[in-house]
Chains A and B, each alone.
Chain A
Amino acid sequence: MTTVPPPLPYRVADAWDETADTRSIELVPAGEALAPFSPGQFAMIYAFGIGEVPVSASALRGRHGGLVHTVRAVGAVSTALYRLRPGDSVGLGGPYGTGWDLEAAAGHDVLVVAGGIGLAPLRPVVHTVLDRPAEYGRLAVLVGARTPADLVYQDEIESWRGPARVEATVDRPGPGWQGAVGVVTTLLDRLDLRPEGTCALLCGPEVMMRHTARDLLARGLVPHRIQVSLERNMHCATGHCGHCQLGPLLLCRDGPVVGYDRVADLLLVREL
């Protein structure tokens, strides 16, 4: 057991645009460093005087050796983080929460399904699987976004083609879009899925994860081979503030990544 510490000072080593409203920042410790993060774990990032928000690591080791986080400007704190420039300081706490259970995925085909910025917590999974191809079966990455301009990590996604099967779809295509149109679940038809040998990792809007899980179960996957990353309001990340409850779960502690077998029923209860 550890006493809740204040965040540690970190410095922005680099910051760049991902889409019109989304940027990534790479953070390096100004002094003492946090313990290493696992894929799927999150940090509390403190914007000076404004507040803290939970953000999953979108890469565990950036070009400067730091942690990369991807933020979309939606609230006061995330907008402040969006505006950070190299040399700026933030407070960082973590690593918090459960990560993706990649041990359970070992020896299996890995299916990554992401909606919008939901690809961020899954990107370290892709990195891990691509780095250690011998430990996993085939890798497939399915990505959905509202429009082509909302697809994050576009250049990097292109580089995954080859070692991985990559498919993208958008709700509203723009000029020049050659890819699929429609919800991300339609991409499942394009895969040669081996239900008994596949581990699926999902992150995106809850409705998207629910429909994807339903379609995967219909194709023969078992619930405990489906993992989802859930989001709730979090104010502390240490299990003390009570905000991130989903029925019996405290998602900062029991999540954000949980087996679908644990939450399938909970996700069907409206306003839980």
Chain B
Amino acid sequence: MSADTRVNAVPATASEGLVMGKDGMAALVDVLVRRGFTVIGPTARDGAIVLAELRSADELPYGWGVELEAGRYRLRERSDGAAFANAAGPQSWKSFLHPSRVREWSADRVEGELVLTPDRDAPPRYAFLGVRPCDLRAIAVQDRVLTGGAYRDPGYTGRRSGALLIVVECTEPGATCFCVSMGTGPAAGPGHDLVMTEVVDADGHRFWIRSGSEEGAEILAELPARPAGPETREKARADVTAAADRMGRTMPEADLRELMAGTLDAPRWDDVAGRCLTCGNCTMVCPTCFCTTTEDVTDLTGDHAERWRLWDSCFDLDFSQLHGGPVRASARSRYRQWMTHKLGTWYDQFGSSGCVGCGRCIVWCPVGIDITEEAAALHDWTRSGVTAAEPEEG
């Protein structure tokens, strides 16, 4: 990862922006609802910060932080009352843009003729409030997968094209975060409509807010905000810069794509396979994992059928099923597929890394497998002087 691809400092071109208090946040949600958006944002529920539809800014997780470690997630109260001082929760925005279950089309037998009808339900118009810079990048990664090739996924395109993205920069990274290594945060990259930085200090609890699109500017003009003074701007920038220095995890300093391609026969895969339960949690919480399977159903008449698409996981044995059996039968091969795809072959297939450094796969792994630790172990192996064995002949 070269330094110039990192987004760990606020770009110098950022406008001076406006500043608003919690009343401004309340007004923002009201304006979005009035404009017809389905507002999705973080809220503390069931012992976690989840993404849910917000009716008002009161539902934001004011005063809630999180404690993250491999295989561990705990809410903890914060004395400063901050709403966004918490790193990635169990969900990501893909739950809304690329939902776990969608109907693609229906088929009907009408007087012996087959009639195929694409699903044309109008998508909701989402406003995503509180998108983290790593997750903003994850959305861009899924954009390339689902709309950037020869074929465009129609459902994703509909949900994505209407979505308003409101980013909140990261000032409180978790112990499992490594966005700096992946060049995705903690400052916001491009592609948002509005971007905020939350500041809490002796001068009060406030949000430095800038627009990134015409629609964002229109919304900003409706908010009770005033020009941001240099104190707020400098404090916000300093908090984001400090966050870059407080990453809980780092990836090894190596070309990860080459590292993955060159370690397919490393003994470390057997080591991780001894711990991996192949449960697929990492693929469910990953904001870029996109794999799906299909399900065909018929109704009781037998003349109406539907094609549904469901999230799938490369950890599932059925995933690589080919007449006779799965191509990837061992846990070793399935973990290797996931990790080498995420960090390596994703570049070949879609032109970027598939990992944004959010750390969710580390947190939600029931046995605490840590992708940065596995990458480091592979990197160590390449430097240990053990030459790679000749490829096996099958």
Interface residues of A (CB under 8 A from B): 1-9, 30, 46, 48-52, 74-75, 89-91, 207, 210, 231-233, 235-236, 238-243, 245, 247-250, 253, 265, 268-272
Q: Identify B113's interface contact among A2, A4, A30, A232, CB under 8 A.
A: A30
Q: Which residues of A contact B302 (CB under 8 A)?
A: 49
B116, CB-defined interface residue at 8 Å: yes
Q: Identify B151's interface contact among A4, A7, A75, A245, CB under 8 A.
A: A4
- In the assembly, what is the distance between CA of A248 and CA of B146, in Å? 17
Q: Which residues of B contact A247 (CB under 8 A)?
A: 340, 345, 348
B267, CB-defined interface residue at 8 Å: no
- In the assembly, what is the distance between CA of A119 and CA of B4, in Å? 51
Interface SS, B side: mixed
Given the known interface contacts A242-B312, A248-B345, the answer about A2 and B152 at a Cβ–Cβ threshold of 8 Å is yes
Q: Which of B267-320 touch A at CB < 8 Å?
A: 290-294, 296-298, 302, 305, 307, 312, 314, 319-320
Q: Which residues of A contact B149 (CB under 8 A)?
A: 1, 238-240, 253
Render B147-180 as a binary contact track against A, CB cut-off 8 A, 1 for contact.
1011111100100000000000000000000000
Q: Which residues of A contact B107 (CB under 8 A)?
A: 6, 46, 48-49, 91
Shortest distance in angstroms between B107's beta carbon and chain A's nearest beta carbon?
Answer: 6
B115, CB-defined interface residue at 8 Å: yes
B374, CB-defined interface residue at 8 Å: no
Query: Please, which residue of chain A has its CB at the minimum distance from the CB of B116?
Result: A6
B264, CB-defined interface residue at 8 Å: yes
Stretch at the interface among B54-62, B65-73, B130-138, B322-330: B322-330
Given the known interface contacts A89-B113, A239-B151, A240-B151, the answer about A269 and B264 at a Cβ–Cβ threshold of 8 Å is yes
B117 contacts A241, C-beta separation under 8 Å = no
- In the assembly, what is the distance between CA of A245 and CA of B337, in Å? 9
Q: Identify B105's interface contact among A6, A75, A89, CB under 8 A.
A: A6
B interface residues, tally (CB under 8 Å): 58
Interface residues of B (CB under 8 A from A): 104-105, 107, 109, 112-118, 145-147, 149-154, 157, 264-265, 290-294, 296-298, 302, 305, 307, 312, 314, 319-323, 327-330, 332-333, 337, 340-341, 344-345, 348-349, 391-394
Q: Identify B290's interface contact among A1, A46, A242, CB under 8 A.
A: A242
Q: Give 10 A-B contacts (CB < 8 Å), ordered by A residue.
A: A6-B105, A9-B116, A48-B107, A51-B296, A89-B109, A240-B146, A240-B151, A243-B291, A248-B345, A272-B327
Shortest distance in angstroms between A50's beta carbon and chain B's nearest beta carbon?
Answer: 6
Query: Please, which residue of chain A has its CB at the minimum distance from the CB of B394?
Result: A270
B391 contacts A6, C-beta separation under 8 Å = no
Known: A5-B118, A6-B118, A241-B294. 11 other contacts (CB 8 A): A1-B151, A48-B109, A91-B107, A238-B149, A238-B151, A239-B149, A240-B290, A240-B292, A241-B312, A268-B391, A269-B392
Shortest distance in angstroms between A55's beta carbon and chain B's nearest beta carbon?
Answer: 13
B294 contacts A49, C-beta separation under 8 Å = no
A2 contacts B151, C-beta separation under 8 Å = yes
B345 contacts A49, C-beta separation under 8 Å = no
- In the assembly, what is the distance between CA of A248 and CA of B330, in Å? 20
Given the known interface contacts A241-B312, A270-B394, A272-B333, the answer about A233 and B320 at a Cβ–Cβ threshold of 8 Å is yes
Given the known interface contacts A9-B113, A242-B314, A245-B345, the answer about A3 and B152 at a Cβ–Cβ threshold of 8 Å is yes
Q: Which residues of A contact B319 (CB under 8 A)?
A: 233, 243
Q: Which residues of B contact A236 (CB under 8 A)?
A: 292, 294
